[in-house]
Structure 1
Amino acid sequence: MHRVLTGRLAIEELTVTIAGLSSRLKGLRLVQMSDFHFDGLRLSERLLSQAISASNAADPDLVVLTGDFITDDPSPIHELVTWLGKLQSRYGTYAVLGNHDNLRRRSRPEVTQALTNSGIEVLWNQIAYPVGAELPLIGFADFWSYEFKPEPIMTQIDPMQPRLVLSHNPDSAELLRSWRVDLQLSGHTHGGQVILPGLGNVAPYMPRLYNQLPKRWQRRLPMLKSCARTMRHWEWAQGLHQLGDNQLYINRGLGTYLPGRLFCPPEVTVITLV
């Protein structure tokens, strides 16, 4: 069942140009992983082990995790962190939380504490400097939370200063256009999950399809409603996007959700900065 839902792991490698990047940091290598949904159903331990091995084999300077570690119940985070604690990098592992990590009252503190105890630094509207002052790493609260407020954070940094941003939901990139974002790393979309040959990603059609259905059919298809509301900018479902002067990369994630994945493999991303 896991193999049917998730497919074979893909290692996506790309090079991203950062204007004004310090010569000391040229060639800096990041690994991004996202959307684990670790609950015993949506991510097999076999796939998770492969992802961690792939990350370590890339010999990264920095590992970043962009949210949705759990699905509903936060308790599986305690098993997940025993796996994530095996991640290796020169400057450590940093994370932001996703909407599923914030669903229940106890989810956010429990997930945050478990990650922190395993040596992973969780950023919630915070700035970190894991590779030095030349390249701040900004981690935002989840876009759907009341605490997503970028202005007090972004205005702390010189506008001429290159920076990396972690934000679980790619829709946040629209608001972040008001500031310099050399590279935003996001997840949330699972790549759209269903890719049909000749048609491509079906996710962008979901809102239109749902809105055109009669009300009685809308009530019978709650999952379609959920898919339609997951994202506004489904055109940003996966890959690298240029948004004016800003850059946005969306990782397809490791876990899945109903109806599962079709021709949309889970992903570990290896990014080299130049």
Structure 2
Amino acid sequence: MHRLLTGPLRVENLTVAIPNLPARLQGIKLAQLSDFHYDGGRLSDALLEEALAVTNQAEPELILLTGDYVTKKPEPIHKLVLRLKHLQSRAGIYAILGNHDLKYQHSKTEITQALTQIGIGVLWNEIVYPLGPELALVGLADFWSGEFNPKPVFTLLDQMTPRIVLSHNPDTALPLQKWRVDLQLSGHTHGGQIVLPKIGPVAAFLKPMRRATPKPLRRWIPYLSGNCYKVVEHWEWAAGFYQLGNNQLYVNRGLGSYRPGRLFCPPEVTLITLVNSPSCSLDEFQKPTLLGKVL
């Protein structure tokens, strides 16, 4: 997409404290990229190349991709992986899929195979330990896929084991309150794309606007005729870092853009440094919480 409709890339630096993080992992750096929508119109090659370059320059221990590599048909993934294969990290690259990666019956298989062929591990309700047994990486199925089922995944983890959870849709932060999530990395929202200072994403107002607009008129008003108002329920988690009880959530604004583009919501690469925080007791992690309140 044209730079005037997208804005310059921003690198967000984030430090996240994780209880029981082993000393050898203190200060390690992760990189997150999300929502490429690589289809020839929503992400320029120049912006993509810049994002890949700044990611490699950071020399991350781990690179994490949080979904939506394409927009509709899966075929553009084959051109995208020719660029993604240049990403470099010490402990590997892991990915989850987003709702746009599941549009067609063959999309999941084709996109998974393309990513796997260049050495990117695709997680679908799976756990891996690329940094060793003291830190788990959990990749969940997309929230809308019908296969989002965290319970059997989390029961495989020792409650005292720190974990990073990849989940494309930030709305999953609500059901994930049942389990310990030291850091959830999500995308999906594009940050709202159009953000008004001191007000927030315009998209947060689509649902009430739609209800207040007569049905015959909705088709003539941008974003009210389609399903844009259904993107997420929790627009308050549209972008950035959130402390949700004992759990922590970070929502990446993504790289790709839908028209009319972005306003006060630049595309981003996120660089995350992990540090240790005071140890928590097992009891603390066993109490489901939401927004700082014990349920």
Task: Report the residue type matching 2:164 in the other structure.
Answer: L
Distance in 2 (CA, whole Å) between partners of 1:218 and 1:201 is: 20
Distance in 2 (CA, whole Å) between partners of 1:71 and 1:5 is: 18
**Can you give the 5+ residue segments of structure 1 that lack an aligned partner in the other structure?**
none
- Residue 271 in 1 paired to residue 272 in 2? yes
- Residue 71 in 1 paired to residue 71 in 2? yes
Contact 2:168 2:187 in 1 (8 A): yes
Identify the residue that residue 119 of structure 2 maps to in structure 1. Answer: 119
Alignment partner of 1:17: what SS?
strand
- Identical pairs, percent: 59
Cα deviation for residue 261 of structure 1 reads: 1.1
Alignment partner of 2:165: what SS?
strand
Cα deviation for residue 216 of structure 1 reads: 1.4
Q: After the TM superposition, which of the residue ranges 99-108 and 225-234 deviates more from structure 2?
A: 225-234
- Residue 9 in 1 paired to residue 9 in 2? yes
1:1-274 matched pairs, under 5 angstroms: 1-221=1-221, 223-224=223-224, 225-274=226-275
**TM-score normalised according to structure 2 size:** 0.91
Cα deviation for residue 5 of structure 1 reads: 2.6
Distance in 1 (CA, whole Å) between partners of 2:70 and 2:22 is: 36
Task: Report the residue type matching 1:196 in the other structure.
Answer: L
**Can you give the 5+ residue segments of structure 2 that lack an aligned partner in the other structure?**
276-295
Q: What whole-Å deviation, never above 9, does each CA across 1:127-182 have from its counterpart, x for those lacking one?
A: 01100000010000100011100000011101111100000000011000000000
Distance in 1 (CA, whole Å) between partners of 2:156 and 2:220 is: 48
Q: Please provide the CA RMSD for this pair.
A: 1.1
Contact 2:206 2:223 in 1 (8 A): no
Contact 1:193 1:260 in 2 (8 A): yes
Contact 1:37 1:68 in 2 (8 A): yes
**Alignment coverage as a number of residue pairs:** 274
Q: What whole-Å deviation, never above 9, does each CA across 1:221-264 have from its counterpart, x for those lacking one?
A: 47324221000000000000011000000000000113321121
Contact 1:5 1:42 in 2 (8 A): no
**TM-score normalised according to structure 1 size:** 0.97
Cα deviation for residue 198 of structure 1 reads: 4.7
Alignment partner of 2:230: what SS?
helix
Distance in 2 (CA, whole Å) between partners of 1:159 and 1:219 is: 49
Cα deviation for residue 209 of structure 1 reads: 1.2
Distance in 2 (CA, whole Å) between partners of 1:27 and 1:259 is: 39
Task: Report the residue type matching 1:39 in the other structure.
Answer: D
Distance in 1 (CA, whole Å) between partners of 2:115 and 2:105 is: 17
Distance in 1 (CA, whole Å) between partners of 2:171 and 2:259 is: 21
Call closer, same or farther: CA 1:50–1:211 in 2, change over 3 Å: same
Task: Report the residue type matching 2:141 in the other structure.
Answer: A
